[in-house]
Structure 1
Amino acid sequence: MATYDDDLRLAHVLADAVERITMSRFRAEDLSVESKPDLTLVSDADKAAEELVRMQLKRTRPRDAVEGEEFETTGHGPRRWVIDPIDGTHNFVRGVPVWGTLISLVDNEMPVLGLVAAPALGRRWWAANGSGAWSGRSLSSAKRIHVSKVSTIEDASLSYSSLKGWRALDRHEEFLALTDDCWRTRAYGDFWSYMLVAEGAVDIAAEPELAVYDMAALVPIVTEAGGRFTSLAGKPGPWGGNAVATNGLLHDEVLERLGTDARA
């Protein structure tokens, strides 16, 4: 089995470098913000952070492809780094500390490494295939994390980002019914929902519309923590355009209730 220890160490180095940019621009009075064609926001910090990662990967992993949110995919081959420089840009530009840098390595179309760095929260999570999922400030100060053992929807805590997308997907009523049946619901949002699933603080996270760069880094962390990560149609990994992550025990029931192929 291939090991990715060197790549994981590199991911931490990349996250350290990005953090110096993003934290220097967080809540900066001169932050430049633009609207992209899809009406989402992008800041000068997003672009600078991704450019830095691409430059360092070109130097340290010249044979690997790189895919990011802000610029075109470069290179080709079985290994591809997938980068979201700031997941939660809308939070970032409004001064909300729930944003993070997502770094993933995809090898032969499988996400084999994921790192999520949330410097404004003082948190970092990471995993590589076969190495477990971890949280801490660095590789040398880490604690292994695991999903919860909650086995019923009535005892489950669910986290989500917003309600609008569920209406667009024609699953609004089904989603609301699921939230009504859960013990607790909170909109922690973006990457944080999935990291809370991985560390057992939340049992279900789901979003109706996501890009690969939103999800690739989350998959190894959730699965190495013992959970499941699929699309609403039940396809494993970040390839289905949306996401359901659970502790595994609740996954089939959540898919039955929300899944895009569950309609009569």
Structure 2
Amino acid sequence: MPDYHDDLRLAHVLADSADAATMERFKALDLKVETKPDMTPVSEADKAAEELIRSQLARARPRDAVLGEEYGSEGSGPRRWIIDPIDGTKNYVRGVPVWATLIALMVQGEGGYQPVVGVVSAPALGRRWWAAQGSGAYTGRSLSSATRLRVSQVGKVSDASFAYSSLTGWEDQGRLDGFLDLSRDCWRTRAYGDFWPYMMVAEGSVDMCAEPELSLWDMAANAIVVQEAGGSFTSLDGVPGPGGANAAASNGLLHEDLLGYLNQRY
């Protein structure tokens, strides 16, 4: 199996730079915010963080392709970095500390591109999570000061904690009734939002989570962290990895049940 340790170290360096840039403008009274064509907000900090990461990648990995939320796709080849400079921009612009920079490396294989490195850095929470293929998933202050992540062993929906971002989107897909049934049948539900539920699944503090509408940059880093922690990450249709337009993540034991609820049709 290839060794991605150097790429993981680089991803941490990229996250350090992004953290410094985003924290400098977090809660700034003169923060500039625009509305994109899809009616979602983008701040000057989103753009600055992505530009910073891209410039560092251009120097450190000039042959690699890059896909980012704010500036699209650049380059081609078997290795592609996936960037979400601020996952949770709506929180960021309102001063809510639940947001993170997501950085992933995807490598082309027999089954298409798959994430092999992921870093999720949430500086306003003082938290960071990361993983590399075959090396496990971790959380901590640095590579040398880290705790290994493992998913929970909860095996019954009635004992499980289910996390999500919002109710928006479930009804549009005809999945709202199944979503509500799951919410009624599980032990606990909470809407933590964005990257955080996936990291909680990896930590074992939440047992399953799902979102109905996502882009690749929302999922790639989260997927490798969940998988390396021993969990399952698929589309709502059950296809493994972050290649779909939505996501379901769990400790693995509950994954079939999770998909069953969310694919109910009435």
Please identify runs of 4+ aligned residues in structure 1 that moved more than 6 A.
Answer: none
> What CA distance in whole angstroms lies between the structure 1 residues aligned with 2:251 and 2:37?
36
Q: Does residue 119 of structure 1 match 2:99?
A: no
Deviation at 1:170, TM superposition (A): 1.0
Once the 2 structures are TM-superposed, how far is the Cα of residue 257 of structure 1 from its aligned partner? 1.4
Q: Identity of paired residues, percent?
A: 65
- What pairs with 1:98-117 in structure 2 (closer than 5 Å)? 98-108=98-108, 109-117=113-121
User: Which residue pairs with 2:149 in the alignment?
Assistant: 145
Residue number in structure 1 paired with 2:181: 177
Question: What secondary structure, in the 3-state scheme, does the structure 1 residue paired with 2:73 have?
Answer: coil
Could you say which residue in structure 1 is the equivalent of 2:138?
A: 134
State how far apart, in whole Å, the 1-side matches of 2:258 and 2:161 are: 12
CA offsets 1:90-128 (integer angstroms, 9 cap, x no match): 000000000000000000001111110000000000000
Alignment match of 1:199 (pick from 198, 203, 210): 203
Give SS of 1:23's match: helix
- Secondary structure of the residue aligned to 1:234 is coil
SS in 2 for 1:151: coil
Could you tell me which residue of structure 2 aligns to residue 253 of structure 1? 257
User: What CA deviation, in whole Å up to 9, does each residue of 1:12-52 have, x standing for no partner?
Assistant: 00000011100000000010000000000000000000000
Counterpart residue identity of residue 71, structure 1: Y
Equivalent residues, number: 262
Gaps of 5+ in 2: none
Structure 1 window deviating more from structure 2 (43-52 vs 165-174): it is 165-174
Aligned-partner Cα distance in 1 for 2:247–2:183 = 16
In 2, distance between residues paired with 1:165 and 1:55?
35
Q: Give the deviation of 1:224 after TM superposition.
A: 0.5
Q: How far is 1:240 from its partner?
A: 1.0
| 2:226 corresponding residue in structure 1 | 222
Instruction: Please give the alpha-carbon distance, in whole angstroms, between the structure 1 residues aligned to 2:196 and 2:102.
Output: 11
Q: Shift in Å at residue 228 of structure 1? A: 0.1
AA matched with 2:2 = A
CA distance in 2, matches of 1:145, 1:57: 28
The equivalent residue for 2:72 is 72
Separation (CA, whole Å) in 2 of partners of 1:79 and 1:160: 31
Tell me by how many angstroms 1:221 deviates. 0.4
- Equivalent AA in structure 2 for residue 2 of structure 1: P
Give TM-score scaled by structure 1 length.
0.98
Structure 1 residue identity aligned to 2:203: E
- The equivalent residue for 1:211 is 215
1:219 alignment partner AA: A
Q: Secondary structure at the match of 2:54?
A: helix
Amino acid at match of 2:86: I
SS at match of 2:205: coil
Query: How far apart, CA to CA, are the structure 1 residues paired with 2:60 and 2:253?
Result: 40
Q: State the 1:207 CA deviation.
A: 0.3
Normalized against structure 2, the TM-score is what?
0.97
1:24 maps to 2:24: yes
Give 1:14-93 correspondences, 5 Å limit: 14-93=14-93
SS in structure 2 of the partner of residue 9 of structure 1: helix
Q: Which residue of 1 aligns with 2:167?
A: 163
CA contact (8 A) 2:175 2:265 kept: no
Deviation sequence 1:135-162 (CA, Å, 0-9, x none): 0011111000100000000000010000
Q: List runs of 5+ in structure 1 lacking aligned partners.
A: none
Secondary structure of the 1:142 match is strand
